[in-house]
Structure 1
Amino acid sequence: MRQTIIFSPKLISKIVADNVYKCTLIRHASTGLQLWEQDINIEIKHKIENYWKDKVNRISNNDSSKEKFYVLSMFPYPSGALHMGHVRVYSISDSIARFSRMKGKYVIHPIGWDAFGLPAENAAIEKDIDPAEWTKQNIENMREQLNTLGCSFDWDRELSTCDPKYYKWTQELFLKLFDRGLIYQKEAFVNWDPVDQTVLADEQVDSNNRSWRSGAKVEKKLLNQWFIKTTKFAKPLLDGLTNPMLRNWRDIIKLQQHWIGDCNGTNFEFKVLSNVPGYPKTLSLWTDKPERIEQTKFVAISTRSILNQIEDSECVGTEKRLSATILNPFTGEELPIFSTNKIKFTRFRDNHLGIPCESENDASFCNSMGIHFEAAKELSPEEREQKISKILNTAKQLNIGGYPVSFKLRDWLISRQRYWGTPIPIIHCENCGVQPVPRKDLPVELPKMSNTIRKSSSLAEVTDWVKTQCPKCGKSAKREVDTMDTFVDSSWYFMRYIDSNNDKEIFAKDKANQMLPVDLYIGGKEHAVLHLYYARFMNHFLHSEGLLPTSEPFKQLLVQGMVMGMSHRTNDSGKYLKADEVEKVGEVYVEKSTGNPVTSSWEKMSKSKYNGVDPSEMFENYGTDTTRLLILADVAPTSHRNWSTATFPGILGWQHRLWITVRQFLKCRNELTNQIIAKPPSKKFIEENAYMFDSRNFYVKGVTFNIVDSQQLSVGISKMQGLTNSIRKASSECIAKSREFERALAAQIIMLAPLAPHFASELWAGFCSAPHRLANDGDIQWDKDVLEQSWPEVDMDYKLNVTVYINNGEISKIKIPRKTLDNISAEELASLVTNHETVAPRIRKRIISEITVHVEEGCDGSCYIKTMKNVENNLKQGYSVKVQSC
């Protein structure tokens, strides 16, 4: 609810003296189109956007010596055309970037392209074109569309993951991990996509055992693959989610915690002993009893395990005993392997370490199989911790695990058997084994796609490229023919942005210390698990290497909701219908050709569902800025946006009101004369002038809070519309003579500028072209365009609400000027509040356990909360004040 300001006669005199009688003529550099006599329409909007497009995309007010603000939007896959999801995320990031510049910060707002991967390769093969050329064309198209959208990106930081200048450093990152023993190659049963002909990580297979991309039923294959040992960082990654630096992660913390799991056990790599072909050389086994690992007597595998398919094994009673055995690295003992369903397997695991001294189920199984075991000595807590520490240290020395990890987390499988990806910088030599490519030879560049590659999609077919020399012995050797998962490319791109043109190192450490971590990361929830997990891992690793200032990469998250379109499906076949194939009859939709009711629902926009909207058509029919406002209005950025033309009139009407407001302002100021200026102000003028002062401060305060703190851009737009309504109430006298009207209208246009930069620039040009302005108070830079203005602040004389709570119950609201609150100490505030006439009588009559003073958001959007705790029984005995500020 709006608060009411009561002005004293002294303040009224000051307003009149300062704001009415001082008036000067102005001139402004950017005059705009000056079409104020015409009503705003789509033709004028296009003229405005064409006139201002180059100006608004230039970045100003970006001094690197100021406080930095790194706003990052997830970089797109270059499909060649923007969709409405892109429009939403980049409208959000651009608005916040522009706002932050106007707040006087040094803003980093980069853009790039997640350009490797199957979609580009498959499309290029289908179109008989090199994926590099296809990707380049798509990037050029989307770059132009982003410029049309009015995005003020740091284009000098632009990168593309398929550019050798970028993936050279992805390969360098691989080698850093390799040098630290965090990358390894092993034979393992992996998920094979028979359609896309490549390996998939466990995370890329859905609950129905189908590929995340092709939808094919996934097969199991034993392949030699590359893994990153992410499990070594499982506990730090889990603990990092409680880092007080993190803001607005909300349910993303739970998603990350769920993915990582409780790190209450340990993984060990056990060697498999077998003469039968087809067995993996090692088996990863998890246990939450590492202190008893030496008492392990058998290994059980589920009947669902792929190991069951390797051989016809001996049956022992009702159980199946495999010919292979497991070597316990801590005792040297060979352990039998049984296929059984009588063992309680841990969730997400199809194998089990049998430790009968710790499990009745394991003991019973040993007895049934005739396996001898002895009862173990009970360990004290101290002995247990010592034993665990010894076992884990031994495992680390043997490089077979030994790190805290959950039962469900696996190492990251990064090998892909496709052409279009970052080549793995490894050379295989028959004499020297696996050798890293020397750093002086980076990047290992992809060969140009040939007809041979088109047929097989594999680097293994490019024999001239595969052949090389061993960097150690100089003899003939072969390159690694697998490429990296694209998640590797996207796990560190935000780091490269800070130094994207550096050809000497991955990034300069001093720039990392200056610009990282990312202050605000904006992207879809679909990437809130895997991508975020991998990015956090890379950041933790490079922080442990001393290259990054913090372990966590992102301070604040804004997870935007999807843009949803209305889809229609027939009830019998489920076939999707186009919008022109249905009509609304009453409250339901029916198929035009049959008259049968259809199922209508809001779903994520998709071409196959015929519920998508082409951004290019939106730009053409409504204008870029209108599209930006439409995508930002009505619902919070974190909520799904149901796209409906029913919401359009509100924004279109608001733009019309703003247009005629500036027209009226120009008319009144053009008619202003010295005779009118000298005329004494009427009572109505004084009231309106005060109302404009109140309205400006109230809405500046609210809009700022909604952008900075609550991330509710839609609410900020609603409050801007509220300010427009207040401004529209002003009389001609107020418009012509009131400094506070002038300041309110200026604040209105300035606050609109980050969201609708072209339209606001034209409004500002008109505003500043008026022949008269009132006394320059320093917060309007008349000779600069709107995007060069400073964000408006709450006036020092404006009174903020101070709510007083005693023992968690509200007892009073006090209004205190901002200048008092900005300069008062916590103790002084406590004294002021407790001695106030509305508070003092209430606290004398009760025992005080806590007094809380809540000061509403101020000029910078921050929320001051000062808590005073009474350490005595009551006020008569005296009490001291302890203050906590958020």
Structure 2
Amino acid sequence: MDTRYNPQQIEPKWQKVWAEKQLDKVNNDAIGSETKKKKFYALSMFPYPSGDLHMGHVRNYTITDVIARYKRMQGYQVLHPMGWDAFGLPAENAAIDRNTHPAKWTYANIDNMRSQLQQVGLSYDWERELATCSPDYYKWTQWIFLQFLEAGLAYQKEAKVNWDPIDQTVIANEQVDSEGRSWRSGALVEKRKLRQWFLKITDYAEQLLQDLDKLNDWPSNVKIMQANWIGKSTGAELSFPIVGSEEKITVFTTRPDTVYGVSYVVLAPEHPLVETLTTADQKEAVSKFIEEVKNLSEIDRTSDDRPKRGIAIGASVFNPFTGKEVPIWIADYVLFEYGTGAVMGVPAHDVRDFAFAKQYNLPIQIVINAPNATDKALKAAYTEAGIMINSGEFDGLDSVTAKTKIVELAEKNQWGNAKITYRLRDWLISRQRYWGCPIPVIHCPKCGIVPVPHADLPIALPEDVELTGRGASPLAQLDSWVNVPCPKCGTAAKRETDTMDTFIDSSWYFLRFADARNDQEIGDRNAINNWMPVDQYVGGVEHAILHLLYSRFVTKVLRDRGLLNFDEPFTRLLTQGMVQGLTYMNPNKGGKDKWVPSALVDPKDPKDPKTGEPLQALFATMSKSKGNGVSPEQAIAKYGADTLRMFTLFKAPPEKDLEWEDADVEGQQRFLNRVWRLVSSFAETKQNGISKKVDKNLRRAIHIAIKEVSEDFDGGYQLNTAISEMMKLSNALQDAEDKSSATFLEGIETLLTLLAPFAPHIAEELWSLIGNEGSIHLQSWLTHDPDALTVDEITLVIQINGKVRGSLQVPSSASNDKQALEEYARSSDAAQKYLEGKEIKKVIAVPGKLVNFVVV
């Protein structure tokens, strides 16, 4: 019998056995009724097939795998699938760089990454594998688009959109970061006016916001991010008649209580009224200002730390509440795409307006006093509630009440109305690139936009394309593909040549796993509704307002189309932390140049190899640019998959960042080696027979481990502390005096059962080694025996004048009885030795702990 732990030998062995026995295959017929198994759907966010796994992948998928294995052992029918988010710009750009086809590049990467995933020992049902770039999949992406079109939720319009100058395509608002850069390329986004396809996510803004309250098992920060992105504002739309015109300027405000303090109205420089309202004497200056604003990014225009600039256009409006004229300005901080493209300036009660008014010497009219205010000089904008002043009939009211009263007055006089607005904008889904799902519509000169008949799906991507990456879809150059007859009237027509945003593909993939091989429909309705929603979803927090919001939206639309009977796609969400590696930074450099790959640095004397400057060592998220990544394949080759899994689970709680340190990885390898030696040694002992002796202390340690590990799973997946409990049990087994007893056998089998979800290969090998038939992964999860946790005796400390003089074993039944404890203590040899000839002044008994005799 080999006493050495050899993961490189046992891991491929068991992976092959599991695959041959289809251990992880799941049966749809096993769920869906009272008499059948309960279901559990465990899912990791599926990866883009870049070609190689990184440690972030390993951590994400291992967390989900441990949960899936645990639930199987609890008796659930578990769906745990894997697929590939395979369309997108990176594959197309890589294909251009390598002069190959995106499909060839993508499928080669999928084959490689599938092999790597299998090395980790992940319990996937590979028969449900999918790739979003397969026609078998994107046929149903196109079908979903047609559902939106039929419901009036998909439309095409000309709009000012975000243009990525590096990737040469349009991107959605959600794909622009807080600095105005593309989430993928990092380029500063430009604005262009183009005709694009949108989905009406704004129609579901209120549902998406309200239903966040249903997501009790989502991290609060994710829900806050979504709520802020949806950005609900309750207020009023108020109209200001333009002096000398029949037209009005409408503004949205959340502070109608401040309307009596309006001292100017501001239009966005792009507002169409600017050209018609600007007076002749202001034309030249206004035109010059507008040209300057065109060169500013949206972030620059709205940034709080940048001075706001503006100019009067010479026209005015009436404030219907005061009857006074106020001037019209344009300013760089007002954006035409947001709200009505106009705002009312109330300097006394808005921080931005106050600064703008001070800069341009505009009137500042106080209309709300702070409670108990005595100083009438306004040194800064007062933005809180207070008492109304200078507000006509509303003077003396508190401003909260005045809000409602002022809106009522506006509605009565047709000056405005109550209004709810959202920051959320419709989802821009069209992209000017090739490697994506074709949009299934045809443009007919007679019929307009015509949906492709369902029977003609999928509209397949043609293979004979020239990939240029120059900002226009390559599909537009293929006349044989573009030119088709109109399905409705037969007139010569043209296909849509833009493709869909890849977030469309990922917004419904979790549904397809329920019935992934169905070629007649998106999936059997019963199968989808029986498996969904996902019980545990694991992925990165960076998808909070992209994938997660889009998935919720698509789920609700398909529910309303009669496909689904649930409201939310993911019941429970775990956002795992990042994996960080040790790297070195040159504090005298900036950008990518500041990072020095760890491989080039002597850790004992960290200096820049080029300049000799001292380097700062720190942990940072693993990336190629930082040169601090660790290859999972190399780690598995060196340590084994089980060691890698144990490290990623033990080093930090799942939701926290994890710092890669070789010493900690080696620590987990040593633990598995101890388990191997312990169990393999017992296997030899077992051959000589097992006694029926019961070791109460060991049995207590066994059932404490069962209880604690189970609670770590059920109380929020505290997998690191679960491993700590297994280490304690291993130590108790190692310290046991009798290693041939029935209790010791129970302890060994318990340790392997608890370990199985975490380190599946070694657990399977050792389970077999001690003579068990069948897979350990088909065993039932253990339940602890409460009686085994009770203690027959406790150790009582004996003190004389506060100094420990000995100890005594007393029945646990007496542990809380002070009088009984004193009697046991008096009778002890330790106490009698020190009490002889002494006068006892006082006895202090602490139940369950000690007895202290105060003597003279």
1:347 Cα deviation (Å)?
A: 12
Cα separation, partners in 2 of 1:482 and 1:666, compared to 1, 3 Å: same
Where in structure 2 are the equivalents of 1:764-783 lying within 5 Å?
Answer: 764-768=767-771, 782-783=772-773
Which residue in the other structure is 2:330 paired with? 340
Q: 1:882 maps to what in 2?
A: none
Distance 1:692 1:712 in 2: 24
1:80 aligns with 2:80: no
Measure the CA separation in 1 of the matches of 2:332 and 2:113.
57
Q: Is the 8 A contact 1:314 1:320 kept in 2?
A: no
For normalisation by structure 1, the TM-score amounts to 0.71
Aligned to 1:713: 719
Corresponding residue of 1:691: 697
**Aligned twin of 1:647:** 664
* Alpha carbons 1:234, 1:263 under 8 Å: kept: no
**Structure 2: distance between partners of 1:593 and 1:615:** 29
1:39 partner letter: R
Match 1:792 to one of 782, 797, 801: 782
Q: Give the 3 Å change call, closer, same or farther, for CA 595–232 of structure 1 in structure 2.
A: same
TM-aligned CA distance change 1:518 to 1:462, over 3 Å: same
Displacement of 1:53 in angstroms is 1.4
**Alpha-carbon distance in structure 1 between the residues aligned to 2:126 and 2:147:** 29
Q: Deviations over 1:727-773 (max 9, x none)?
A: 11112xx321x2222112111101111111111111111122xxxxx
1:169–1:314 CA distance, 2 compared to 1 (3 A): farther
- Give, in whole Å, the separation in 1 of the partners of 2:500 and 2:528: 25
SS in 1 for 2:606: strand
Count of matched residue positions in the alignment of Structure 1 and Structure 2: 692
Does residue 1:224 correspond to 2:195, yes or no? Answer: yes
Amino acid paired to 1:659? W
Alignment match, 2:619: 602
Query: Are the equivalent residues in 2 in contact too, given 1:301–1:337 (CA < 8 A)?
Result: no
C-alpha separation in 2, matches of 1:310 and 1:202: 28
**Are residues 1:754 and 2:754 paired?**
no
Query: Aligned partners of 1:337, 1:176: CA distance in 2, in Å?
Result: 48
Query: What is the TM-score of this pair, normalised by structure 2?
Result: 0.73
Show the counterpart of 1:466: 482
Deviations along 1:592-638, whole A, 9 cap, x unmatched? 67653102221111112110001111111111111111211121111
C-alpha change, 1:179 and 1:60, in structure 2 (3 Å) is closer
Whether 1:258 and 2:234 are equivalent positions in the alignment is: no
Alignment-derived partner of residue 613 in structure 1: 630
Match of residue 564 from structure 2 = 548
Distance 1:664 1:385, change over 3 A: farther
- Cα distance in 2 for partners of 1:286, 1:800 equals 67
Label 1:747 to 1:452 Cα distance change in 2 as closer, same or farther (>3 A): closer
Match of 2:505 among 489, 493, 498: 489
How many angstroms apart in 2 are the aligned matches of 1:470 and 1:728?
78
Contact 1:299 1:351 in 2 (8 A): no
What residue in structure 2 maps to residue 583 of structure 1? 602
2:650 aligned to which of 630, 633, 637: 633
Residues 593 and 423 (structure 1), Cα distance of their counterparts in 2 relative to 1, 3 Å cut: closer
Structure 2 CA distance, aligned partners of 1:507 and 1:290? Answer: 50
**Does the C-alpha gap of structure 1 residues 202 and 306 become closer, same or farther in structure 2, counting only changes over 3 Å?**
farther
| Counterpart code for 2:480 | D
Distance 1:695 1:228 in 2: 58
Q: Does 1:429 align with 2:479?
A: no
Change (3 A) 1:306 1:494: farther
C-alpha deviations, 1:617-674, integer Å up to 9, x for none?
Answer: 111111111111121112111111110112123212211111111122123223338x
Distance 2:250 2:464 in 1: 38
CA contact (8 A) 2:52 2:109 kept: yes
Alignment of 1:148-297 (within 5 A): 148-243=119-214, 246-264=216-234
- One of 405, 409, 415 as aligned partner of 2:424: 409
Determine if the alignment matches structure 1 residue 668 to structure 2 residue 634.
no
Aligned mate of 2:739, from 735, 739, 743: 735
**Pairing partner for 1:351 from 324, 341, 362:** 341
Task: Report the Cα distance in structure 2 between the residues aligned to 1:786 and 1:595, rounded to whole angstroms.
Answer: 55
In 1, Cα distance between equivalents of 2:615 and 2:623: 18
Q: Once the two structures are aligned, what percentage of the paired residues are identical?
A: 40
Following superposition, the deviation at residue 584 of structure 1 comes to 3.1
Say which is worse superposed, 199-208 or 307-316, in terms of deviation. Answer: 307-316
Moved more, 752-761 or 501-510: 501-510
SS of 1:478's partner is strand
The 3 A distance-change label for structure 1 pair 352 and 692 is same
1:560 lines up with 2:579 in the alignment: no
Displacement, 1:542? Answer: 1.8
Contact 1:566/1:602 (8 A) holds in 2: yes
Q: Is the 8 A contact 2:251 2:344 kept in 1?
A: no
Aligned-partner Cα distance in 2 for 1:526–1:343: 28
* Alpha-carbon distance in structure 2 between the residues aligned to 1:385 and 1:739: 81
Name which of 104, 108, 124 aligns with 2:75.
Answer: 104
User: What is the rounded CA distance, in whole Å, between the counterparts of 2:9 and 2:222 in structure 1?
Assistant: 43
Does 2:748 align with 1:745?
yes
Tell me what 1:47 maps to.
9
* Conserved? CA contact 1:234–1:405, under 8 Å: no
CA deviations 1:395-434 (Å, max 9, x no partner) are 9xxxxxx99542x221111111111111111111111111
Give me the whole-angstrom Cα distance separating, in 1, the residues matched to 2:252 and 2:199: 18
Shift of 1:219: 1.8
How far has the Cα of 1:693 moved from its partner? 1.6
Amino acid at match of 2:217: R
Offset, 1:799: 4.8
User: Secondary structure of 2:536's partner?
Assistant: strand
Of 428, 441, 447 in structure 1, the residue corresponding to residue 456 of structure 2 is 441
1:204 offset after TM fit, Å? Answer: 1.9
CA apart distance, 1:796: 5.3
Are the equivalent residues in 2 in contact too, given 1:232–1:404 (CA < 8 A)? no
CA distance in 2, matches of 1:379, 1:614: 64
Letter in 1 for 2:225: L
- Matches of 2:98 and 2:201 in 1, distance apart? 38
Deviation at 1:315, TM superposition (A): 5.0
CA RMSD of aligned residues (A): 4.1
Matches within 5 A, 1:790-829: 790-795=780-785, 797-799=787-789
- In the TM superposition, what whole-angstrom CA distance separates every residue of 1:758-799 from its partner, at most 9, and x where no partner exists? 11111111122xxxxxxxxxxxxx432211111111125345
Return 5+ residue gaps in structure 1 as ranges.
Answer: 1-34, 269-282, 326-335, 369-374, 396-401, 769-781, 802-835, 840-886
8 A Cα contact 2:39 2:77, kept in partner: yes
Report the equivalent of 1:518.
534
Q: Partners of 2:251 and 2:160 in 1: how far apart?
A: 14
Cα distance, 1:565–1:287 mapped onto 2, change above 3 Å: same
Contact 1:149 1:624 in 2 (8 A): yes
Checking the alignment, whether the CA contact within 8 Å between 2:635 and 2:644 is kept in structure 1 is yes
